[in-house]
């Protein structure tokens, strides 16, 4: 038995040294944003194999040195296999996080307290969670975000007004710290008055970057419009996160803002998993406009339009399960509580840069447009096509209605868009075993409408939503042709903080489905969103 033990010890030592060396190598391209940009522009598909190998190394070392992970794998009779990443069970909140204390999920069962920041998730899943991030981990996050932002907006006279929450949800704090590496920063939080005052005080001459949730950026645009803000004299840009950005809302914002991009992250994991580029935005719009391209990329039966981001597998290794759920491994030993094939419940598809380039090149006009969109940031990173959480829908006419599609419809040629604060969805039982979707609209604070204006808002909102749903769902389009009652989408208008919105915003993120506590007399609501 002595020989196998010595071999095991040698294997463990080799793995620890190799993983530490890889982490140190990654630190080189984070030394300066220019090196980060160079790496993103010269990423080669062969690096994917190296990234997968590194993910395997991180998982295996975690089995050796993270008590909770060793216990988690051993309960399913884990056995070591060289280079087989799929040999390691996926983790999740339910199966892993909820079962083991924080310390046991850290390297060597120890929490490093000095420099560690505790990040609280938004609670959109119904229960807030605490996530610890060490000083080393935060440093890598800040450098990655700084490199990405300079790729999008350049490096000259950037003034970031950080409108993310500054509370326990530490993403806001981390965004401000990351931006301070490449920009002047003011952390206003989601306070429109402060932002308006800041813009008035500093005036033109800066490349303003407003970081916020998508709905807040809309509220800011509406407020500045109402005050006669001189958009032409200022260069305002938006960087949003935390929830999906629809193309309808992007168009509405970019009527005023110079550019608006979205990033993808999760409190469970990191704030900088992936981000949009001019190329990814073009691809998303092309999927809507070109049916053959849509079929080639998404498949014959897929009618949803995902968010599209580019990501760096060397930092964040992504996989998908047989059910198309995203698995994430953070490829760094700097992560105090390692994230190992972690399933956050998002539905996604992964497409490499060469694969996407080859698909679009089948259509000469699209191939040219692909290269033109690519020429701005020139990131050769792979794409993650994100459909979002599987439980944030209501089913109607044999199809799923997604908040993204509803939002697109609400902003479709709707003169009342500026009066809408937020919305929620539910299903109404109208008898005879039939249901109808209900869209609850919350008016902005201080907005009042008379009966005529309210009816016009309902009519235009319903028409816009039906038009967009028919354009993205064959099932709904067919149903509208065959059954006139299928167009019976109900709109309920609520004054600010009333009805299903009573009690005010209890969560940082918008929650789009009416839950049991919000029913307000509406029968049979959809399940609560995460």
User: How high is the pLDDT of residue 517?
Assistant: 42
Q: What is the mean pLDDT of residues 364-393?
A: 89
Model confidence at 483, pLDDT cuts 50, 70, 90, reads low
How many Å apart are CA 19 and CA 452, to the nearest integer?
Answer: 66
User: How high is the pLDDT of residue 395?
Assistant: 65
Residue 286 has pLDDT above 60, yes or no: yes
Higher pLDDT, 523 or 137: 137
Residues with Cβ within 8 Å of residue 496, at least 6 apart in sequence: 421, 442, 443, 444, 445, 446, 447
Higher pLDDT, 443 or 189: 443
Collapse the DSSP code of 159 into the 3-class scheme (helix H, G, I; strand E, B; otherwise coil) and give the result: strand
Higher pLDDT, 463 or 173: 463
Name the CA dihedral angle for 19, 23, 26, 31, rounded to a multiple of 10 degrees.
-160
Q: Residue 305 corresponds to which tokens in the numbers above?
A: 């339009």
The total number of residues written for the chain in this structure: 530
CA quadruple 238, 239, 245, 247: dihedral positive or negative? positive
Residue 523 has pLDDT above 80, yes or no: no
Model confidence at 525, pLDDT cuts 50, 70, 90, reads very low
pLDDT tens per residue across span 94-134:
899 999 999 999 999 999 999 888 877 654 444 667 888 88
Q: What is the mean pLDDT of residues 229-233?
A: 96
pLDDT tens per residue across span 313-352:
988 999 999 999 999 999 888 899 999 999 988 899 999 9
Least confident of 97-111, 221-235, 422-436, 504-518: 504-518
Residue 433 has pLDDT above 60, yes or no: no
- Write down the mean pLDDT value for the chain: 84
The candidate with the shortest Cα–Cα distance to 363, out of 471, 307, 283, 303, is: 283
pLDDT tens per residue across span 75-98:
998 988 888 999 999 999 989 999
Model confidence at 456, pLDDT cuts 50, 70, 90, reads very high
Q: Residue 1 corresponds to which tokens in the numbers above?
A: 């038995």
Please give, one letter per residue, the 3-state secondary structure of 412-452: CCCCCHHHEEEEEEEEEEEECCEEEEEEEEEECCCCCCCHH
Least confident of 101-110, 379-388, 400-409: 400-409
Residues with Cβ within 8 Å of residue 480, at least 6 apart in sequence: 466, 470, 486, 487
Collapse the DSSP code of 491 into the 3-class scheme (helix H, G, I; strand E, B; otherwise coil) and give the result: strand
Q: What is the mean pLDDT of residues 358-369?
A: 95
């Amino acid at each position: 038995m002595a020989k196998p033990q010595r071999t095991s010890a040698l294997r463990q030592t080799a793995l620890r040294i190799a993983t530490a060396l890889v982490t140190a190598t990654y630190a080189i391209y984070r030394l300066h944003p220019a090196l980060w940009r160079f790496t993103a522009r010269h990423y080669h598909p062969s690096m994917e194999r190296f990234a997968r190998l590194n993910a395997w190394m991180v998982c295996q070392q975690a089995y050796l040195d993270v008590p909770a992970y060793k216990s988690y794998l051993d309960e399913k009779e884990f056995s070591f296999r060289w280079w087989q990443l799929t040999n390691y069970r996926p983790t999740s909140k339910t199966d892993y996080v909820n079962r083991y204390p924080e310390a046991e999920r850290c390297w060597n069962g120890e929490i490093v307290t000095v420099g560690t920041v505790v990040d609280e998730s938004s609670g959109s899943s119904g229960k807030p969670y605490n996530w610890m991030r060490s000083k080393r981990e935060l440093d890598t996050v800040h450098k990655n975000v700084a490199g990405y932002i300079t790729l999008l907006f350049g490096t000259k006279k950037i003034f970031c007004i950080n409108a993310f929450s500054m509370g326990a949800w530490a993403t806001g704090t981390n965004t401000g710290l990351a931006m301070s590496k490449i920009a002047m920063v003011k952390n206003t939080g989601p306070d429109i008055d402060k932002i308006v005052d800041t813009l008035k005080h500093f005036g033109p001459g800066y490349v303003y970057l407003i970081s916020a949730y998508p709905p807040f950026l809309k509220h800011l645009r509406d407020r500045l419009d109402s005050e006669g803000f001189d958009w032409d004299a200022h260069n305002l840009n938006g960087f949003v996160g935390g929830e999906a950005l629809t193309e309808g809302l992007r168009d509405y914002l970019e009527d005023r803002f110079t550019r608006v991009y979205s990033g993808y992250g999760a409190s469970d994991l990191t704030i900088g998993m992936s981000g949009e580029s001019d190329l990814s935005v073009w691809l998303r719009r092309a999927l809507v406009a070109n049916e053959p391209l849509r079929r080639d990329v998404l498949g014959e039966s897929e009618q949803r339009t995902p968010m599209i981001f580019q990501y760096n597998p060397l930092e964040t290794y992504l996989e998908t399960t047989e059910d198309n759920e995203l698995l994430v491994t953070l490829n760094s030993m700097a992560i105090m509580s390692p994230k190992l094939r972690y399933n956050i419940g998002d539905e996604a598809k992964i497409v490499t840069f060469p694969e996407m380039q080859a698909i679009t090149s089948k259509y000469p006009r699209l191939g040219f447009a692909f290269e033109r969109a690519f020429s701005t940031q020139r990131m050769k990173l792979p794409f993650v096509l994100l459909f979002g959480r599987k439980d944030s829908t209501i089913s109607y006419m044999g199809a799923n209605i997604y908040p993204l599609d509803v939002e697109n419809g609400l902003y479709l040629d709707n003169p009342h868009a500026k009066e809408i604060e937020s919305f929620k969805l539910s299903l109404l039982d109208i008898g005879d075993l039939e249901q109808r979707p209900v869209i609850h609209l919350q008016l902005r604070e201080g907005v009042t409408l008379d009966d005529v204006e309210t009816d016009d808002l309902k009519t235009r909102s319903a028409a816009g939503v039906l038009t967009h749903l028919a354009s993205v769902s064959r099932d709904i389009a067919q149903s509208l042709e065959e059954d006139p009652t299928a167009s019976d989408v109900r709109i309920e208008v609520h004054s600010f903080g009333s009805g299903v919105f009573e009690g005010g915003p209890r969560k940082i993120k918008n929650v789009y489905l009416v839950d049991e506590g919000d029913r307000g007399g509406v029968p049979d609501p959809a399940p609560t969103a995460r």
